[in-house]
Copies of this chain bind each other. A is one copy, B any other.
Amino acid sequence: MSFPDINNESDTRTRIFLAAAELFSNYGYNRVSIRQICEKVGVGKPTLYYYFQDKETLLAELLRFSFSVSREMLRKLLEPAANFREQFKALVGMRALFARKYPHFMRFFFGMNIFTLPESIREEMVEHLQWAHRELEKLFVAAQRSGEINPRLNPALLNHAVLGAMNQMLIWNILTDRKQLMSGNDGRLLMEFWDECIFNYPH
């Protein structure tokens, strides 16, 4: 499987891919029918089946694409850096970037009911999340060792809190129908918050 060039709209496979992403993100996997996707793309159902084994495979590839993108982005940001705070800022910013660049996938992710996913896909997702969790934790531990952030904080919890706060904001913005899932100001506020909480700590 090769990830489609998401901008090559002339490719039928990609058009199906994108249409599915948008529909799934708006109505949820189960509420979207093959027919709807095909109508949106303007092809017959057998055409979809020519490119994707079945509906579940389509979903799986969609998720895998999201993972691969987010993994790629993360990998770069996780490389050892001199200034942890800048690295942290970049990490926070990355989420915002992703939300801005692939809003459908972002909504898609949050809209996705992870507990109802087919087992195999779910496992893949959990694996991806655990990998990200582990990598982030390593980063935090290093920063605590070097004294850049409060060393008394439990790293796992730090992880949850940082990601959780971001996700909560995103959900909130989606729910209250903000146009931008995460604006520049949102990112700044977030950074200020963690500056107070974990960077600027009493020794």
Contact = CB atoms under 8 A, between A and B. Distances in A.
Nearest to A172: B160
A129 interface: yes
B164 A167 contact: yes
A43 interface: no
A180 interface: no
A174 interface: yes
Interface string A155-168: 01110110111111
Interface of A: 25-28, 30-31, 107, 110-116, 126, 129-130, 133, 150, 152-154, 156-158, 160-161, 163-169, 171-172, 174-176, 189-190, 192-193, 196-198, 200-202
Contact of A150 (B28, B112, B164, B196): B196
A-B complex: 4 closest residue pairs judged by Cβ atoms: A164-B164, A164-B168, A28-B116, A30-B30
Number of copies: 4
Contacts of A157: 165, 169, 189-190, 192-193
Contacts of A189: 154, 156-157
A196 B160 contact: no
Contact of A27 (B31, B116, B150, B160): B116
A120 to B, nearest CB: 15
A121 to B, nearest CB: 13
A70 to B, nearest CB: 16
Contacts of A175: 114, 126, 129
11 contacts: A26-B115, A111-B113, A113-B113, A126-B175, A153-B193, A160-B168, A160-B172, A164-B166, A165-B165, A197-B198, A201-B202
Contacts of A192: 154, 157
B30 A31 contact: yes
A171 B172 CA distance: 17
Given A31-B30, A165-B165, A196 B201 contact: yes
Nearest to A117: B28
